[in-house]
Amino acid sequence: MTAKKIVEQLKPLGAESYRKVLRNHGIQEPLFGVKIEHLKKFQKRVKKDYSLALDLYDTGIYDAMYLAGLIADDAKMTKQDLRGWLKKANCSMLSEYTVAWVAAEGAHGWELALEWIESKNESVAACGWSTLSSLLSIKDDSDLNLVQLKQLLHRAQTTIHQQPDRVRHVMNKFVIALGTYVKPLTEAALQTAARVGAVTVDMSGTACKVPDAAEYIQKAQKRGAIGKKRKTAKC
């Protein structure tokens, strides 16, 4: 199956009502408005395909780009591929989710995340922090650098309120991910959340809210979910 044929099949699945929702969340044209449940059906059929994922992403069509992330063969994605995807990402859904997920599931996630969080570009830095959060959700604690993560936690604590909106938003998610998925650092994350306090982000008039990090982690504690990893960062 080629990218062209998939695009032809995606187009009639789009709905104006969902396109409106996507636009309200900052998704840029061109887009069809295909719901994720339909994209998942393509993912189930294709599974993983490195070349097809690259071709789909290169279409510049949001729905196809999102699908590209779902079917990407993460292990084959090079640093050049991932940097290229981030450069082409024109909305937070692609930079903070699609690119971050694929980077985290591959071999270069940690290195690129640390590179990206140093960027002065808001979307690049946000992708870096999102990649870190995705890594925490799927990697065994033994594969993580806990000392460096604690340093990053301190960095979030001391700089979060000076960051641009999207970086502030994903830094807060990083604190949550660290406290929820990395049991040895749960208490440190809770202490950081308490010191940081409320995090405010301009959500551009949408109903989305910034979660309270301490409250989120404490709910995970009550469920007995601390330290339970995900099978995949993608959803």
Q: CB neighbours (10 Å) of residue 163?
A: 20
Q: CB neighbours (10 Å) of residue 203?
A: 14
Which pLDDT does position 203 carry in this prediction? 83
* pTM: predicted TM-score of the whole model, two decimal places: 0.97
Summarize pLDDT for 95-120 with one digit per residue, the tens: 999 999 999 999 999 999 999 999 99
Summarize pLDDT for 154-208 with one digit per residue, the tens: 999 999 999 999 999 999 999 999 999 999 999 999 999 999 999 999 988 888 8
Which pLDDT does position 139 carry in this prediction? 98
Mean pLDDT of 32-43: 98
Summarize pLDDT for 121-157 with one digit per residue, the tens: 999 999 999 999 999 999 999 999 999 999 999 999 9
Say if residue 148 is exposed, middle or buried (CB neighbours under 10 Å; 0-12, 13-18, 19+).
Answer: exposed
DSSP annotation of 227: T
Cα separation, 134 vs 81, whole angstroms: 18
